[in-house]
Amino acid sequence: MRDYINLDYKPRRREVLACYHITGGKASIKEIANNLAGESSIDTWTDIKTLSPGIFKKLKPNVYYLKNNYVKIAYHPELFEKGNMSQILSSLAGNVFGLKMVGNLRLIDIKFPREIIKSFDGPRYGVEGIRKLTKVRDRPFVGAIIKPKLGLNAKQHAGVAYEAWVGGCDTVKDDENLTSMKFNKFKKRVDVTLKAREKAEKETGEVKLYMPNVTAETLEMLKRAEYVSNNGGNYVMIDVLTSGFAAVHTLRKNIRLPIHAHRAMHAALTKSERIGITMPMLSKIFRMIGVDTLHIGTAMVGKMGVSISETVYSEREIESRKTKKQDHLFEQEWYNTRRVLAVASGGLQPCSIGKVIDRMGKDVVCNFGGGIHAHPWGTRAGSTAVRQALDAYLNKVPLKEYAKTRNELAKAIETWGLV
């Protein structure tokens, strides 16, 4: 293994920068870092005769930072195929996790240069596009997840969606494990739910979005997405991690509808502070590939809460913010790539909405499952309570005061209490 340590090196704008955190292991941090750089690029465990001086000089990565178990490496851009996230991650998050000498390894962040950022499509709609589509300009969105996750037939599913929409929700989405089941076939569900959406739009005068889950084998996924588009649908959803980076990219290339990204399985990669990949890193990847909305946590408010510092970085995308926990996150330049709209979801109830907005800003979809459907008066009342809570927040009126003349919100406060 050749020497890739160069702590005097100054990274160039065209290079790809990666930051890793290393703990444990069977060698010094310096030795591990050196092997990390070689294995993720041009080298292997022993000195190979086929790695010529010319290749080494041109393509060698440089370990330019070693401090407090953090390692930063600068890579020549020609080591990566533009527009191919699978290849990029096979290098930077591939064999390196299996190296015997490495104890715990976490990929903290990657900074991409302009030529790689621009080789991906990015979101077709993003925050501003979704606001234009829905005509919701100056407030957060509210949405519903159909519950129970599994068990409803297509007609029942559409009925629940209708109740959520007429109660006040802007969006309704399938849950992550609802695809095409024996009791709820995909095409039938799309047909009847889109009819329910059309009816809700006529009754409310508002644009309503339905996000059917098209997750499947890639060719089948495209057929499902095309079916949604051909039948008047205005959104699709995909489980981005279980489907795979290439499948998400294929969907982005082949459909003109907005794409909602559900992050099911992300915690297998992100939850440990010692091993895996960070959520900010994944959110950056999916922004590049081109999803329009991204399922996130709830900033410690609901059951899927994550740390506020991580949420602020990844979901509000303030790349330059520097807290103690973010010293090793790069400031990414996006070169006019549209912003992804965050979808905060996981254990929210109507009285949670103010805290979510305080932490994440107005460019967010506050998504409710049990917090709507468990309202004692049903889904419509739960949805209405959410909109009432949002109105109270926007008008700076205390929830209890606002609830004096709004029965649905009053019942929600009685049921769940103030947050």
What average pLDDT does the structure give for the chain?
A: 92
Say yes or no to pLDDT of 359 above 90.
no
The reported pLDDT for the residue numbered 88 is 98
* pLDDT tens-digit readout, 366-380: 999 999 999 999 999
**Could you tell me the pLDDT band of residue 309, with boundaries at 50, 70 and 90?**
very low
Tell me if 258 sits within 8 A of 293, measured CB to CB: yes
Which option is the CATH number for 126-416: 3.20.20.110, 3.30.1360.120, 2.40.50.100, 3.40.50.1860?
3.20.20.110
**Could you tell me the pLDDT band of residue 318, with boundaries at 50, 70 and 90?**
very low
Q: Is 201 left (phi over 0), alpha (psi -120 to 50) or beta?
A: alpha
Helix 186-204 vs helix 154-167: crossing angle, to nearest 10? 20
Say yes or no to pLDDT of 317 above 50.
no
* pLDDT tens-digit readout, 141-153: 999 999 999 999 9
Choosing from 147, 249, 373, 411, the catalytic residue is 147
What is the mean pLDDT of the segment spanning 166-185?
A: 98
**Per CATH, which fold does 16-117 belong to?**
Alpha-Beta Plaits (3.30.70)
**Could you tell me the pLDDT band of residue 354, with boundaries at 50, 70 and 90?**
very high
* pLDDT tens-digit readout, 330-352: 999 999 999 999 999 888 999 99
Choosing from 111, 157, 173, 262, the catalytic residue is 262
**Could you tell me the pLDDT band of residue 25, with boundaries at 50, 70 and 90?**
confident
Tell me if 256 sits within 8 A of 226, measured CB to CB: no
Catalytic annotation on 396?
no
Tell me if 350 sits within 8 A of 412, measured CB to CB: yes
Closest to 301 measured CA to CA, from 347, 262, 263, 342: 347
Say yes or no to pLDDT of 275 above 90.
yes
What is the mean pLDDT of the segment spanning 276-302?
A: 87
pTM (predicted TM-score): 0.93
Say yes or no to pLDDT of 1 above 90.
no
**Could you tell me the pLDDT band of residue 300, with boundaries at 50, 70 and 90?**
low
The reported pLDDT for the residue numbered 299 is 60
What is the mean pLDDT of the segment spanning 60-71?
A: 96
CA distance 73 to 5: 9
Tell me if 107 sits within 8 A of 281, measured CB to CB: yes
What is the mean pLDDT of the segment spanning 56-82?
A: 97
- In Å, the largest CA–CA distance within the chain is 80
Helix, strand or coil, per DSSP, at residue 396: coil
The reported pLDDT for the residue numbered 307 is 46
For 184-203, b where at least 16 C-beta lie within 10 A, e where not — what string? bebeebbbbbbebbeebeee
Instruction: Write out the E strands in 146-218.
Output: 171-173, 209-211
* pLDDT tens-digit readout, 209-223: 999 999 999 999 999
CA distance 369 to 383: 10
Extents of the domains making up the chain: 16-117, 126-416
Instruction: Give the residue with greater pLDDT, 363 vs 325.
Output: 363
* pLDDT tens-digit readout, 385-403: 999 999 999 999 999 999 9
- Beta-carbon contacts of residue 95 (< 8 Å; ≥ 6 apart): 39, 40
Helix, strand or coil, per DSSP, at residue 306: coil
Residues, the chain: 419
